[in-house]
Structure 1
Amino acid sequence: MAKTDSLTIDQQQLVEAWQRTIPTVLNASDKAEIKADAADPKTLWVHIVTEGRNGYSFDFKCTYVDSREVKVEFVDVEVEGRNADERTTVIQTLIDDYVRHIHECAQQLHALTSN
């Protein structure tokens, strides 16, 4: 029988752990907000606001594939509250950076998520 490696932590505890940890992997001026997905206990929504970078805000969907691995999907980017063209080099670079930071945050929480 194969061992299943699924996420067993309470979603609210996970949100709180992410909220505490994500600032440690982001740039000091960036702000992040983590929200639980009401429909899926393995999914978190990550909203990042880039202070001092033209007021960009990014939304990502972060889903735990198992207790260690997360799948990060870019959802949206806005500039000063309006949709922005995500195909620009600057925005693509920021998206790549934030996806990497989100993965780093998940790695830092392995001890919590792999119980």
Structure 2
Amino acid sequence: MSKRDELSINQQELTEAWQRTLPDVIQQSDRAEVQADEADPRSVRITIHSAGHQMYSFDFKVTYVDSREIRTTLVDVEKDGKSVDERTDSIQQLVEDYTRHIHECAQALHELTHA
């Protein structure tokens, strides 16, 4: 019988830790917002506003599978408040970059999430 490797931090603390840490791993010119996912206590919602004149915002759902592993899901990409086709090469490149940054942030938070 193995004990399940579960998240050992409450959602409020988790959200605050992401709010503190994510800005350090994304580009300084980009802006990130982190909120608790009210439907799922193991998840946070992240919106990243890309820098520059493109005015893109990327919405991600980050769910803790266990205390170490996260699943990152792209929820939506918007430009000037309107949904856009996220399959273009330039947007896919940004999604990959942001997903990598999100995973870097999760790694930085291992001390908190893996007690």
Q: Please tell me the TM-score bracket, short chain as reference.
A: over 0.9
Counterpart in 2 of 1:69? 69
Secondary structure of 1:7's counterpart equals coil
Tell me the distance in 2 between the aligned counterparts of 1:77 and 1:97. 14
What TM-score results when the alignment is normalised by the length of structure 1?
0.97
Counterpart in 2 of 1:101? 101
For residue 84 of structure 1, report the CA deviation from its aligned partner: 1.2
- Residue 37 (str. 1) matches residue 25 (str. 2): no
Please identify runs of 4+ aligned residues in structure 1 that moved more than 2 A. none
Counterpart in 1 of 2:3? 3
Matches within 5 A, 1:20-31: 20-31=20-31
What TM-score results when the alignment is normalised by the length of structure 2?
0.97
Tell me the distance in 2 between the aligned counterparts of 1:53 and 1:102. 23
- Give the AA of the match of 2:14: L
Counterpart in 1 of 2:91? 91
Tell me the distance in 1 between the aligned counterparts of 2:53 and 2:73. 22
Using the TM superposition, name which of 17-26 and 49-58 deviates more.
Answer: 49-58
For residue 3 of structure 1, report the CA deviation from its aligned partner: 2.4
Unaligned runs of 5+ in 1: none
Tell me the distance in 2 between the aligned counterparts of 1:53 and 1:75. 22
Unaligned runs of 5+ in 2: none
- Count of residues in Structure 1 that have an aligned counterpart in Structure 2: 115
Q: For 1:38-71, what per-residue CA distance to the aligned partner results, in whole angstroms no more than 9, with x for missing partners?
A: 1211011010001215010000010000001100
Counterpart in 2 of 1:17? 17
Q: Percent identity?
A: 57
- Give the AA of the match of 1:33: E
Tell me the distance in 2 between the aligned counterparts of 1:6 and 1:50. 32
Counterpart in 2 of 1:81? 81
